[in-house]
């Protein structure tokens, strides 16, 4: 009998998980607390509890060619970077094409996921849901948690002495929807992530003055790269990834410094990252440097103190008459429906094998999908996660021992801190191609039957494998024929 899988959430992660379950002959049921699919990408004028909230102008910072699912390219007439409404449209045609809606129970919130008493032999879970005030229980063989991690605002008021005296308005970027109503205001945006930069740029076209306060700075990149290609098609090639892995650190640092400062010298704009050799997620914003040049945005250092109407900064400067503070200070996450012992969140970090599996379970039947921040698009990342996970559920792939998984988690975390730093915004950060390769190798190991083959067969197999996996990357091949981009 087909194994029953509960999928929690119908955003990108939930939709791809559903499709992978169907592909593997599993029997999925998806629970989605809202009335529709799309998760974060479905813009609404109001902020909803329990769901990510975006502003109306959000445009993807990863290109359509690097963002689509592997077997479902985006329509030819879609632009290279997508407004949120276009991404939602993509999900709708994806869900329709693979007939996924029939597996989704809308307006159904998962309240709890608990091990069954016989878990150590069955690996089964009891899932309690609530819909229209009615609770229901059901037993599942496995669970895929796809509930997102951009829901709970991180708003570090304790780092802002004097905030209790501040007489203006303040709110988290999650509350921001559009620039109307901010005309003529003096606005202070805290942080320099993608939310802070987008919001500062948009508000600077209406406000009297926008200030952006950063404690560590950030690299800012354009969505447009060499020869007008989308940045991620140039940055995330197998060759550049290989170079990043083999070149000595000192050479890499020099190359990164040069590459990142090619567009403009970050130092001159007050944006130079404090530790410029970390691979922290860059800001993708074509307008930020010009808005700074026009004086519409002024870059400030860390806020030292707030008064009733002004902000005092670490460098001793003071800005008076601040009307509004936008805390674009990122997110925290939690899993209110899981017992803490299953997936413990500490300092915005979780101990999961390959960012997916709790390592200590007697049966590997619980998986988190999308609890990650890759340097590239999350779409192919969650697709590969789901493909591996469904094969583990089906028994086609197995996980190593708890000890090996724990050792891997510790090593990975050390590497993460070394590459991306300790900042709260980087706790889920991963390399892109390297991580995809790890997942792909779990799914598609050359079968052991080949081990006894003579050398020339091995060479042939390796070349075929290499050609399929790396040279014929379908996304990249498609990108070269994207509308508006000449093929090479």
Binding region for ligand NAP (CB under 6 A) out of 53-61, 384-392, 453-461, 480-488: 53-61
Q: How far apart are CA 484 and CA 77, in angstroms?
A: 10
Q: How far apart are CA 7 and CA 180, in angstroms?
A: 38
Size of the site for ligand NAP (CB under 6 A): 25
Which residues between 110 and 139 bind ligand FAD (CB under 6 A)? 110
The correct pick among 29, 80, 124, 147 for binding ligand FAD (CB under 6 A) is 147
Q: DSSP characters for 220-270?
A: EE-SB-GGG-BHHHHHT-HHHHHHHHHS-HHHHHHHHHHHHTSSS-GGGGT
The correct pick among 191, 289, 376, 380 for binding ligand NAP (CB under 6 A) is 191
Q: How far apart are CA 359 and CA 404, in angstroms?
A: 9
The correct pick among 40, 113, 325, 439 for binding ligand FAD (CB under 6 A) is 40
The correct pick among 173, 241, 348, 427 for binding ligand NAP (CB under 6 A) is 173
Which residues between 7 and 26 bind ligand FAD (CB under 6 A)? 8-14
Binding region for ligand NAP (CB under 6 A) out of 59-67, 262-270, 410-418, 433-441: 59-67
Please name which of 108, 89, 77, 78 lies closest in space to residue 6, comparing C-alpha atoms. Answer: 108
Least separation in angstroms between CB 482 and ligand FAD = 17
Q: How far apart are CA 50 and CA 84, in angstroms?
A: 19
The 8-class DSSP code of residue 346 comes to: B
Closer CB to ligand NAP, residue 129 or residue 348? 348
Q: Which residue has the tokens 């169907």?
A: 22
- Please report how many Cα atoms fall inside a 13 Å half-sphere around the Cα of residue 62, on the Cβ side: 19
Pairing, β 220-221 against β 283-284:
parallel
224: tokens are 């447009």
Is residue 330 close enough to count as binding ligand FAD by CB under 6 A? Answer: no
Closer CB to ligand NAP, residue 202 or residue 281? 281
The residues pairing with 373 across neighbouring beta strands, listed in sequence order, are: 429
Contact code string over 379-418 relative to ligand FAD, x by CB under 6 A = x---------------------------------------
Least separation in angstroms between CB 267 and ligand FAD = 28
The correct pick among 34, 124, 348, 427 for binding ligand FAD (CB under 6 A) is 34
Query: How far is it between the farthest Cα atoms of the chain?
Result: 78
The correct pick among 13, 63, 377, 425 for binding ligand NAP (CB under 6 A) is 425
238: tokens are 């197998």
Binding partner of 32, given ligand NAP, ligand FAD, none, CB within 5-8 angstroms per partner class: ligand FAD
Q: How far apart are CA 101 and CA 108, in angstroms?
A: 14
Q: How far apart are CA 460 and CA 445, in angstroms?
A: 16
Is residue 39 close enough to count as binding ligand NAP by CB under 6 A? Answer: no
The correct pick among 177, 178, 206, 215 for binding ligand NAP (CB under 6 A) is 215
Contact call for residues 38 and 14 (beta carbons, < 8 A): no
Please name which of 313, 361, 315 lies closest in space to residue 338, comparing C-alpha atoms. Answer: 361
The correct pick among 29, 60, 80, 209 for binding ligand FAD (CB under 6 A) is 60
Contact code string over 363-392 relative to ligand NAP, x by CB under 6 A = ----------x-------------------
Beta-carbon contacts of 469 under 8 Å, excluding residues fewer than 6 positions away, are: 440, 444
Which residues between 323 and 352 bind ligand NAP (CB under 6 A)? 328-330
Please name which of 332, 326, 62, 331 lies closest in space to residue 201, comparing C-alpha atoms. Answer: 326
Closer CB to ligand FAD, residue 123 or residue 230? 230
**143 dihedral zone (left: phi>0; alpha: psi -120 to 50; beta):** beta
Binding partner of 423, given ligand FAD, ligand NAP, none, CB within 5-8 angstroms per partner class: ligand NAP
Least separation in angstroms between CB 41 and ligand FAD = 6
Is residue 31 close enough to count as binding ligand FAD by CB under 6 A? Answer: yes
Least separation in angstroms between CB 359 and ligand NAP = 25
- Angstrom distances, CA of residue 153 to CA of 47, 53, 415: 12, 10, 27
Express the helix, strand and coil content of the chain in percent, nearest 5 each: 35, 20, 45
Closer CB to ligand NAP, residue 261 or residue 423? 423
Least separation in angstroms between CB 111 and ligand FAD = 7
Binding site for ligand FAD (CB under 6 A): 8-14, 31-34, 39-41, 50-52, 54, 58, 60-62, 67, 109-110, 146-148, 150, 337, 370, 377-379
Binding site for ligand NAP (CB under 6 A): 58-61, 156, 159, 173, 190-196, 198, 215-216, 281, 328-330, 373, 423-425
């Amino acid at each position: 009998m087909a194994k029953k899988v509960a999928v929690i959430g119908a955003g990108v992660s939930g939709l791809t998980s559903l499709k992978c379950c169907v592909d593997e002959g599993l029997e999925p049921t998806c629970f989605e607390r809202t009335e529709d699919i799309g998760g974060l990408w479905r813009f609404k004028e109001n902020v909803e509890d329990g769901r990510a909230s975006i502003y109306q102008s959000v445009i993807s910072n990863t290109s359509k060619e690097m963002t689509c699912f592997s077997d479902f390219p985006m329509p030819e007439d879609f632009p290279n970077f997508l407004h949120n409404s276009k991404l939602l449209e993509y999900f709708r045609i994806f869900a329709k094409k693979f007939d996924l809606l029939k597996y989704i129970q809308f307006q159904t919130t998962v309240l709890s996921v608990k091990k069954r008493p016989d878990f150590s032999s069955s690996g089964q879970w009891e899932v309690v849901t609530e819909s229209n005030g009615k609770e229901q229980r059901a037993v599942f063989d496995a669970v895929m948690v796809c509930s997102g991690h951009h829901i709970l605002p991180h708003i570090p008021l304790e780092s802002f002495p004097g905030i209790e005296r501040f007489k203006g308005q303040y709110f988290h970027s999650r509350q921001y929807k559009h620039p109307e109503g901010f005309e003529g205001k003096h606005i202070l945006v805290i942080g320099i992530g993608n939310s802070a930069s987008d919001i500062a740029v948009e508000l600077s076209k209406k406000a009297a003055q926008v200030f952006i306060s950063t404690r560590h700075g950030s690299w800012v990149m354009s969505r447009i790269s060499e020869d007008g290609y989308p940045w991620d098609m140039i940055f995330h090639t197998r060759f550049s990834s290989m170079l990043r892995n083999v070149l000595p650190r000192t050479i890499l640092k020099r190359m990164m410094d040069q590459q990142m400062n090619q567009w403009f010298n970050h130092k001159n704009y007050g944006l130079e990252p404090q530790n410029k050799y970390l691979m922290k997620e860059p800001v993708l914003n074509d307008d930020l440097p010009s808005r700074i040049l026009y004086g519409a945005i002024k870059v400030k250092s860390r806020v030292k103190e707030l008064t009733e109407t002004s902000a005092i900064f670490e460098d001793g400067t003071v800005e008076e008459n601040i009307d509004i503070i936008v805390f674009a200070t990122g997110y925290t996450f939690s899993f209110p429906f899981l017992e803490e012992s299953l997936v413990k969140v500490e300092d915005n970090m979780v101990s999961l094998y390959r960012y997916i599996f709790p390592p200590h379970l007697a049966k590997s039947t619980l998986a988190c999908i999308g609890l990650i921040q890759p340097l590239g698009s999350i779409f192919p990342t969650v697709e590969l996660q789901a493909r591996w996970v469904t094969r583990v559920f089906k028994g086609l792939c197995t996980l190593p021992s708890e000890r090996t998984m724990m050792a891997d988690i510790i090593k990975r975390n050390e590497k993460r801190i070394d590459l991306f730093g300790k900042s709260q915004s980087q706790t889920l950060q991963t390399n892109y191609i390297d991580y995809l390769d790890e997942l792909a190798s779990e799914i598609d190991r050359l079968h052991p039957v080949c081990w006894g083959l003579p050398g020339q067969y091995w060479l042939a197999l390796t070349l075929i494998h290499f050609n399929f996996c790396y040279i014929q990357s379908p996304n990249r091949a498609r990108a070269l024929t994207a509308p508006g981009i000449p093929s090479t």
